[in-house]
Each structure stands twice: as structure tokens, then as C-alpha cells.
Structure 1
């Protein structure tokens, strides 16, 4: 049985040299296009011819003219060159953070306010970027980031967590949203005593901010007894805007409450609210994520 001859695999580099020679008239031009030396081009063509067992170029009037075989083979590999160009362009866009997919998850206070502003700016000059965006409760945000289902999470009233990285973006305080015409609307600040006297919209004590609010009442020796109790600050802000009563909410929800019938006042005693970014431990940040974080910090600064 005749022994089967095994030719070595043809490298993409040799095909790249072949493609440059098909587009250029001389090895010098091909070398300039590829950024290599003229002898490297000549050696590459000879190596490719040896591997194929086909003459690709013939010297004619001081030029290398492609043979009929070269023309036929060039048509076969032309799609490869297109794929390589697309691959290189894609790699550059990923490297510069202008292409890819970003997965963002947030709790409502930032997810319905600051994050959309940051996302709009982030996507403006990135037509090749797609985003998966979701607004969930805090436990779902932490779980998504920890499992890798999300690249970044956003939340408030969280200082640290053993399963994820927590980075503070800004620190501010809870505020009072008071309907115009309310008994305390003309005051310089709203106190626990004011709320106790006139009734208020509170937050569920099972939530982090609800617990903070109850602690504020206990520090001032008052019983935490809201007239209306809700889970989310956004809901409390909507009810305040409808004239139900005064509400104590985070400043992000307050800033984006569209009602003109509200007055925003400082709340005493102060309840500090950190706005945080949550990322997965041990995973480096992509350029895409770095770009979004920059816009996120800018948006937080604009709101505050």
C-alpha cells in the first residue's frame, strides 16, 4: 500500500502573505502592507508553494504575476480574509469597550433613577453594545452577581457582603417628601416628632431602609407607627405625590418623583444611605464594564 503523504497545515500567516501578494504588484508593497520585511514575504510565498506543491507566482517584467492556480485558490480563500478583518475589528472594539454585551441588575431606587441615565449615556456612542437590564430585590441582585448571571449590581443601604465585592459610589441621607399644604411643609426640616404627630407613609421594617427608619424613631424615643406602610421608596414617593401624607425616602427616589406638589426637606435624625456597586469576587472588570461604571459615577454626581 502506498504511503499517504501528509502535508503540514497551512498557517493563517502564510495565507495573509498570499492575500497581500494578490492585492499588490511587488513583494515590497506587500511587505509594507503587512508591516514585515520584503525577504519575509518572499520566504512566505516559497514556503506556501512548497506546502501546496503549486507555483503561485511567476516573474514577468520585474513583477510577480499570479498563475492561474493562484487566481483559483485566491477565490477559495477570499472569505477567510473577510473573516479575519471582521475578527480584528471585533477584537479592537472589545478592547476599546465599544462592543459586547453588558448585564446589569439593580434594586429599584437606583434601577429606576440613576442607572437609566447612566445607561443612556453609555449606549449613545456604542451602537454595537447590547445590554441585559433588570430591576429586582436586593437578594436577587446579590445572587445574580455572585453566580455570574450579572456583570454588575446596584443597590443602596448596603455596606458590605461576604459573597460579593461592594464599592460605595456615594453617601447621602434619607429625605422627607411632604405634600404642599401639609402641616410641616413650611418647616426647615422634618423630625420624627413631626411624623408621629401628623402621620406618615413608612417603609416595611423587614426591608433595610425600613429598619433604618424604625431605628431613627427609637433613637428619639418614639414608636414607629406609620399610617400607610409600603415596601419600596418609589411607592412611598408616589403616594406622597398623591397627597396621602409625608414620606421618608432615599434621595434618588425623591429626585425622580415628578409631582410638582411636593416639597423635599431634610429628615432628622440623619439616616445615611450609601449607594453601592456590587461585583463578583475574583473576576476582573472588562473595558465595557469600566465604561459603564464611569457613566454611573457621573450620573450619581449629577443627581446629588
Structure 2
């Protein structure tokens, strides 16, 4: 399967119709349909199921889509580099981040960075944790940002911020007035859980186990931002990282969560290749921004203060 065929496959998956895919790629609808038939013949399995005049990708097609993301990210970087050389632009920086950091600390830092360097071009992609590791090791990105980190040979890292997981609730939730939400408090209410096997998902499960509280989510999601969206619409409470509640202006009550569940934001880069001056500068600016993190998140100090107040009230009862 060549690059053009993969491009057609990805366009059809995004739009779910051959007509829309043809418009995006400036091809005819019959050309798209013929390309799909040729791809299925080459692959030896079905790529799409047609339901009510819409095309729904099979599991095999989605696997090809996900595997091709790195190829197209690398291709986009190569095209950007050619454009930079042609237009004599002064520099290029490539970064990747997981959603909590991509939608919180990175945008304001990047805004100031580019305001002072208007000729700099940036490639910025939002990926799952595995994609961050692949992007850094594969030289698709100079810098990666993720919550939590396992040991990976060839990757250098530093912690840029450490906080604690928080509990998010819809404004009219019965627990909304409490200063601190415990794992035991959530046992009798609908819970939105983070996916098993993910770093944050396992951290939350360990916290519930530590507290001796049952962990029985009504809904399970991969991303903390998804949990915040669902919590804001009244689906239930959720325990998420301290960055995600700041995204998208969700109408949420944010409270410290106990037992305290630490979460660290990491900055990553490859040990095999020295960082460019632009990457070093951006790394320094992220460090500075991390020292001033505040806004809508629940800080560690506020969390400790709330827990101390809760203990004091309990001792007086």
C-alpha cells in the first residue's frame, strides 16, 4: 500500500463518504471508490462497511490508520522543512504532547515563544503517551511532554511540574460542597473511571485500593478531558489530573482528592541527537511557565490546607 493509497484511506475514515474524501483530495468520487477496491484487493480483507450510504472503517482499517499516523507526521515535517528552505525561514521546532499538557501549559508558552520569534515555524502534535515516545525516539519531534513516565532507553527527561489528582463534579452534585473528596465518598455515586492499563487509570485504581474503597465506574474513558466533559454534563464524578479541568471552560466543581495521588509532568528528548538552540530555549520557557502554574487547578498547597481543615473539623466533631 503506497502513500497515496494511505492518504485516501485516511480521508475516507475521517469523512465517512467517498464524495467528501474526493473533495478534500481534489479527486473524482469514482477514483476514490476504485482506490478503495484496489486497496482491499491488495490487503486481502475488507476495509469499510457501508451503512446508510456512509462508510464505517473496520478494525483492520483503523489499525492501518493508527499505524500510518507516524508516517504522515514525518511526511508533514519533511514538507515543512522543504518550505522553510525555500522561503529562507530562520528556524523550525517540533513538539508533541499528551492532551492534558497540550491544552494547558504548552499553548500560552508557545504563544509567547512565537511572539518573540515571528520567523520560527512550529510542528505541534497531540498524541497518546505511546505516540510521544515514538515521536521523540523517531526524531519526529525534538521535545515531548507527557504525564507520568516509564523508563525508556535513549530518552532524557526532567520533571517540569508535580501536582496531585483532583476530583471533578457537576455543580449540583451532592458532594460539591465538601472541601475534600475521598475515594470512600465516591463509592455511592456514579463514577467516571480512567481506562485500565493507562498510567493515570492505574494510579486512580491504586488510590481506591489504598483507601479500601470499591472502584466501580459507570463509564470508562481514556482521556481526562473526556472525563471532565462527561462530569460537566452530569454523568458522574471523576478523578483526573490537575491540568484537564482547565480545558474548554467546563462548568465543574474541582476539589482535592484523597488519598493524595501524585502526578508529574515530564519533558522528554532524545539522547541520540543534541537539541537545537530553539528547542533548548523552548525547554527553558516551559520550565519558567511551570513555576507559575496556577489558574483553575487545585494546587498542592490548597489540597494540603483543605485536608488539614477537614481533619480539624473531624477532631472537633
Q: TM-score range by the shorter chain?
A: 0.5 to 0.7
Q: Which runs of 5+ in 2 are unaligned?
A: 1-87, 295-317
Q: How far does residue 145 in structure 1 lie from its aligned partner after superposition? A: 0.5
Match of 1:247 in 2: 238
Q: How far does residue 294 in structure 1 lie from its aligned partner after superposition? A: 2.2
| Equivalent runs, 1:8-27 vs 2, <5 Å | none
Native 8 Å contact 2:170 2:232 kept in 1: yes
Matched, 1:277 2:277: no
Q: How far does residue 257 in structure 1 lie from its aligned partner after superposition? A: 4.4
| Equivalent runs, 1:166-181 vs 2, <5 Å | 166-181=157-172
Native 8 Å contact 2:245 2:252 kept in 1: no
**CA–CA separation in structure 2 for the residues paired with 1:243 and 1:193:** 20
Match of 2:252 in 1: 262
Question: Which secondary structure does the structure 2 equivalent of 1:283 belong to?
Answer: coil
| Equivalent runs, 1:181-260 vs 2, <5 Å | 181-259=172-250
| Equivalent runs, 1:35-184 vs 2, <5 Å | 99-158=90-149, 160-184=151-175
Q: Deviations over 1:142-196 (max 9, x none)?
A: 0110121110000002254333112100110000111112111011111111111
**CA–CA separation in structure 2 for the residues paired with 1:188 and 1:287:** 45
Larger Rg: 1
Report how many residues are paired: 208
Q: How far does residue 206 in structure 1 lie from its aligned partner after superposition? A: 1.7
Matched, 1:295 2:285: yes
Question: Which secondary structure does the structure 2 equivalent of 1:251 belong to?
Answer: coil
Question: Which secondary structure does the structure 2 equivalent of 1:273 belong to?
Answer: strand
Native 8 Å contact 2:190 2:235 kept in 1: no
Q: Deviations over 1:242-266 (max 9, x none)?
A: 122211111111123412x321100
Q: How far does residue 124 in structure 1 lie from its aligned partner after superposition? A: 0.4
Structure 1 runs, 4 residues or longer, greater than 4 Å off: none
**CA–CA separation in structure 1 for the residues paired with 2:293 and 2:233:** 23
**CA–CA separation in structure 1 for the residues paired with 2:240 and 2:293:** 15
Q: Deviations over 1:2-44 (max 9, x none)?
A: xxxxxxxxxxxxxxxxxxxxxxxxxxxxxxxxxxxxxxxxxxx
- Point out the more displaced range, 108-117 or 152-161: 152-161
**CA–CA separation in structure 2 for the residues paired with 1:295 and 1:203:** 31
**CA–CA separation in structure 2 for the residues paired with 1:205 and 1:196:** 18
Q: How far does residue 297 in structure 1 lie from its aligned partner after superposition? A: 2.1
Native 8 Å contact 1:155 1:277 kept in 2: yes
**CA–CA separation in structure 2 for the residues paired with 1:298 and 1:131:** 20
**CA–CA separation in structure 2 for the residues paired with 1:224 and 1:247:** 11
Q: Which runs of 5+ in 1 are unaligned?
A: 1-93
**CA–CA separation in structure 1 for the residues paired with 2:248 and 2:255:** 14
**CA–CA separation in structure 2 for the residues paired with 1:170 and 1:160:** 18
Q: Deviations over 1:95-154 (max 9, x none)?
A: xxx931001011111012211111111100111100111001111110110121110000
